[in-house]
Structure 1
Amino acid sequence: MNNNGKYSSLTWLLYFVVFEALVFIGLRWLLEDLGTSNQLQPENTVVPNWVKAVTFILLYILCLLFVVMLISNFVPSKHRRQLMRWVYLALAGMVVMLFFLF
């Protein structure tokens, strides 16, 4: 891979990390009133936290689909396979974000 391609990959990695951080911070702020942070309570905390997790997943996938549709309009068709690699990485990162959400 030449230097230009490596720079391009590093640039896309930076964009990806910024996107992930912004979406996580935004969704955490948006969903801060849902769920309970103290899991060791006498009352049931499963349902509110389940609602928070499902809402986070749905909103995250919605943001991801919006960005993929936006970027796919600007990326040539021969590079769309590389775009899907970032989508799969983002879906794997969503699982990690769910752990940090609680």
Structure 2
Amino acid sequence: MSDETLKKAHIILEQRIKACEKTGHKNPVKEKNRCHYCYQRLAYITPNLDELISLRKLLYHGKPVDEEYLRLLKNNEEHKKTEDYDIGLINICREIKNGAIMQADQ
């Protein structure tokens, strides 16, 4: 993949993400929890604090939820967002390569 294609893909993906954030997802697929326009998840599901405390108690016999564990969960959500962005770039690069996108995604 050329630098030019990747540059175009970044621009197009950013436009798509902004459009979906502004007006809602344009091509949501609820069964897959993903928008097939911006390639982001429809919802980033993370357990709430009470669930984490309960889970932690069950797994570690009452060991309290520690800061590191909560940080790992937050990082997991950030990782998912980064992963979604990468998936979007790959798919848009394919669209450009296959001629589905010429110059810009209008």
TM-score (norm 2): 0.40
Q: Larger relative contact order (C-alpha < 8 A, sep ≥ 6)? A: 2
Higher helix share: 1
From the CA coordinates, give the structure whose radius of gyration is larger. 2
